[in-house]
Each structure stands twice: as C-alpha cells, then as structure tokens.
Structure 1
Amino acid sequence: MTKRTSAKYKIDRRMGENIWGRPKSPVNRREYGPGQHGQRRKGKLSDFGVQLRAKQKLKGYYGDITEKQFRRIYAEAERLRGDTGDLLIGLLERRLDAVVYRAKFVPTIFAARQFVNHGHVTVNGRRVNIPSYRVKEGDVVAVKEKSRQLELVMAAAESSERDVPDYLEVDHSKMTASFVRTPSLGDVPYPVQMEPNLVVEFYAKN
C-alpha cells in the first residue's frame, strides 16, 4: 500500500486547483499555496515547471502515488502502440482503487485505496486487496456483501457530487461495477484539465 504522504486538501493548495472538484476544498476560498510563504506572488513557470506541475497534478489525483510507481506506469504506456498520453490515462483508470472510486463505492481516491487494502472488494468473485491491481475489460468489481452497509459506502453511492462515467456499468443495489472499456482522456470526468501530453514531454526530457 502506497503511503499517503500529503493530505488531499494540501495537494489542492499546492497545485492551486481543486483537482477532485470537492465543495470543501480550501482552494474554493483561497487560491494561494500552503505554508507561511504561500501568499507570495508566483513567478511565471518555465516549460520544465509547467510539465512538472502537470505530472504532479496527475500523480496527486490518483492518490499521490509514488514517483517510482508512476514512472513504471508511464514506461508501460510508452511501450504500447498508440498515443502515450492517452494510454497513460487508460492504465491509471484501470487501477482497482480508481475503479472503486469511479463507481462511487467510496467518497475519495484515498478512501478507495484503504477500502481495497482492507479486503472489502472482489474482482470476478475473488477478493483482491492490492489497490494497483490492473482491471481488465469485462471484469466485475464488487463490494463484499458484509461491507455494503458501511456508512462510508452508502453515503458515497447516494452522493450527487459526481457521476459514474460511461465506461463503467454500475449497479448500486448490488454494489457491482463492470469495467466496460478502457477510457481515453476525453472519457474521464476530471474536474480540472489534465495534460498527459505535458507528462510525456517531461519524461522525454528528464
């Protein structure tokens, strides 16, 4: 399990954007960064800075995954045939914790990681407790029966804060989600603009 090194709202403030689109984000009230120097005027970012910010934003969105893990996913996307940026998004969306979050079984990506890690989720009827597990097209992800009445799960399913994307078929009465297809960038309901092309440029130069 990847260690959660930053509070989700601190990530928002560091990026200067409400990257999960949550109504309680402090960025909705103050757009400057965290810490005593957060209100200093920001200089214009260099090309490197813009690319680094795009990478950090994408990493942060998926639960602030480690650089080692993220680089490994990028390297896999680079080996595949097609647009590397789109393929990177597809691989990130196939993570089990991302599917659990997208299906609205839990309220946040951080909760999804913990939920999977604690053994509340099955894939095709088998318990899987690895958040980075790669879901395949046609796989059925489900919340274990004894976990379906957890307050966290019920509140997330009923929340109107976000919608389930169309590359998942979700039945909240049974707490199941079928992974229909691997999405591309345009299919993913990011609340803010993600720029995987800048991530590709970052790794190409560094």
Structure 2
Amino acid sequence: MRDVNIYNFKRGLPRMSWHPHNLFNLWRRSYGPLEKITNRVEYKESLNWRRWTAKALLRGYHGDFINEKIFKRWYLPETLPDVRPSEALKNVEPVVELDKWANRQDAAQKAQKRAEEERRKGLAPVGSLMFTEVERRIDVVIFRACFAHSVYEARRMVIHGDVLLNGKKHTNANTRLAPGDMVSVDPKAIRFLQERPDPLEEEEEEVAASEASDAADDAAEASKSASDAAKTPPASRFSKKPQSTGGLTPFNLPPYASPFLFIPAYLEPSFSTCSVIYLRHPTARPGYSEIPTPWDADGEVVRLTWEWYSKRRMRIRSKSQLARMPENRQ
C-alpha cells in the first residue's frame, strides 16, 4: 500500500491528508521541535545535504506516491517561468517623460504606478510551479476539491471505478487533466456525505443492566420480570433514529479538517452534483502562488529543492520510454 506508515512522527513529513496525525506533523514542522530543521537557521551541514533535506520535505507533500524516477522524468518541468521585469518596466522613466511632454498625464501616471507596484511586490514565487504537473493529476484534483479525506483515498476512488471523467468511467489515477475537463465522483464513495450509524450508547446499556438486576432482586415479581425480560427485546439500544434532514444530503465533517478546507483558484467544484471542473493550469503572480503548499512558495526550502532537481533531471532517450509516459491530456 502507498499510504502505509505515512504519518510517521519521527520523520514528521506533512502529507496531502486531513488526518489528525498529519496536522500534528505539520505543527511540528511549523512551530514544534522540528522547526529549526525545516527553516535551516544554522548551516552546519553541507549544501548538498541541505538540498536533499529540502527535496524530501517537499516531495513528502507533493506527490510522495509517485516514484522518484517517474517524477523526475514526466512530472518535473524543464525550466521555470521567467518572471524578471520586462525592459519596459526597467526603463519606465523615459516613457513617463515622453507621456508628460505629449500632455498624456493619465498614461504617465498609470505607467509610473505600475512600475512602483512591480518593484514593491518583487518577483513572482515561481519555485512552487515545479509541481504544476502533479496538481493536474486527477486524484490530486479530487482531493483539492474536498471530495476525499486524503489523496490516497482519492486515488482509490479512481482505481475502484467511482470517478467519471467528462461523463465516462475512468480508472487511471495517473491521468493529467486538460483545462475544461470535468471530474464527477459517486456520492456513495464520499465518506463525509454518508450517514453515520448510531453507536451503542454505554449509558443506556448500564441503565438496562441496573433495571434488570433490580427486577431480579425483587422476590415478589421475580418470575414475572424474568418472563417479561425473555419476551421483550433490548429495544433501548436502537431506540434513537437519525433525525430527518428535510431531504438534504447529510454532511459529516471529520474532526480537525478545517485547516485543510480550501479550494484552489484553478478549480470550480459543485458539491450539489459532486463534480469539479479543472479550469486552467496553476500559475503565480507577485506575492501569490496558486499551488497549495505547507512551505513558503518563495522560501529557501523550495529554492533548494529546485537546485537539487536541476542537476538530476531525467532525460528521455528512446521511444519505449515515451510509450510509458502517463496519460497527459494537455
């Protein structure tokens, strides 16, 4: 199984999951005892060791169920987008002076304001875009749309035939979606949309046992109580029935799920039909990255990870390797 011992407290790697243990590991990496190892405040180790550690942290969350060789060959982009400011923004002063000389004050003010905003925001955090291809996977999209408790559960939904891609049954969890694709999930496969069975309440059992013992101790009505107890079923255990929801679908949110309840901007889910539309590929702009990640999108962990992979990218040399490429709908 791909999700065996994934919440190991010793490693403390955050995963794509709503599990309480995953939330505890995320706290340990953010504010707990493993924070110093994550932030790398003191550089006592070698640069190559720090790069490998950063790679392990990011890969633990982004696609840990993907083989490392497959990830480097098919899911890692060749280059990251160039977000350096254009020449027009660098040399904006002559343009502003020319607009003022031509009595185009509005155009001059807009150009100057745009240049100031670009300088204030800085460059876009494109380091996290190295996982764009992972975010396009159908199992990751199902998890991001909050239809599954974890990406591992979303993967099982796809493999077991509970997912439709554009209205047709789809069982390949490695498929990368194209803009406009619609993914539908069987409501019966979504756990938090199912009614919870009524648990056997211990308090009612204790009350029934005490009543039975009192009746047995009563010598005057011992025989009558025994006969009544033999004929009467223990209905008190099942007396409570689920309350009517007025025809609405029951929604049972799991505990500790609120930190993970968010919808990325490139998805448009519909919870009434249990479907989600993949609108476009994730992108980034100055001060904001659309790819959800527990780490700083422009931080040192992401930068060191890209430095690690930039020197170890796999190359495709044969047609047989191209034939093994996971389905990519572009």
TM-score (norm 2): 0.49
Deviation at 1:44, TM superposition (A): 3.5
Q: Give CA-to-partner distance per residue, 1:80-117, whole Å, 9 cap, x none.
A: 67358455221111011110110001011221222222
1:102-121 to structure 2, matched below 5 A, reads 102-121=144-163
Q: Which residue of 1 aligns with 2:222?
A: none
Q: How many residues align?
A: 190
Verify the 8 A CA contact 2:157 2:189 in the aligned structure 1: no
Verify the 8 A CA contact 1:119 1:129 in the aligned structure 2: yes
Deviation at 1:68, TM superposition (A): 1.6
Change (3 A) 1:112 1:66: same
Change (3 A) 1:135 1:13: farther
Instruction: Supply the distance in 2 between the matched residues of 1:187 and 1:66 (Cα, whole angstroms).
Output: 24
Higher RCO by CA contacts (8 Å cutoff, separation 6 or greater): 2
SS of 1:174's equivalent?
coil
Q: Which residue of 1 aligns with 2:69?
A: 68
TM-score (norm 1): 0.74
Match of 1:142 among 181, 184, 187: 184
Instruction: Supply the distance in 1 between the matched residues of 2:3 and 2:188 (Cα, whole angstroms).
Output: 30
Instruction: Supply the distance in 2 between the matched residues of 1:61 and 1:86 (Cα, whole angstroms).
Output: 12
Q: Give CA-to-partner distance per residue, 1:52-101, whole Å, 9 cap, x none.
A: 122222322134121122112345x10x6735845522111101111011
Verify the 8 A CA contact 2:179 2:280 in the aligned structure 1: yes
Q: Which residue of 2 aligns with 1:184?
A: 283
Pairwise CA RMSD: 3.3
Instruction: Supply the distance in 2 between the matched residues of 1:190 and 1:21 (Cα, whole angstroms).
Output: 12
Match of 2:271 among 155, 167, 172: 172
Q: Which residue of 2 aligns with 1:204?
A: 310
Q: Which residue of 2 aligns with 1:57?
A: 57
Change (3 A) 1:69 1:85: farther
Deviation at 1:171, TM superposition (A): 0.7
Match of 2:5 among 4, 7, 22: 7
Identity of aligned residues (%): 33
Residue identity matched to 1:94: R
Instruction: Supply the distance in 1 between the matched residues of 2:130 and 2:143 (Cα, whole angstroms).
Output: 18
Change (3 A) 1:43 1:6: farther
Verify the 8 A CA contact 2:13 2:57 in the aligned structure 1: no
Q: Give CA-to-partner distance per residue, 1:150-169, whole Å, 9 cap, x none.
A: 44775469953321111100
Change (3 A) 1:141 1:92: same
Verify the 8 A CA contact 1:170 1:176 in the aligned structure 2: yes
SS of 2:175's equivalent?
coil
Instruction: Supply the distance in 2 between the matched residues of 1:192 and 1:81 (Cα, whole angstroms).
Output: 18
Out of 134-143 and 50-59, give the one that drifted further. Answer: 50-59
Instruction: Supply the distance in 1 between the matched residues of 2:151 and 2:181 (Cα, whole angstroms).
Output: 20
Deviation at 1:20, TM superposition (A): 4.9
Residue identity matched to 1:60: G
Change (3 A) 1:157 1:168: farther
Verify the 8 A CA contact 2:296 2:302 in the aligned structure 1: no
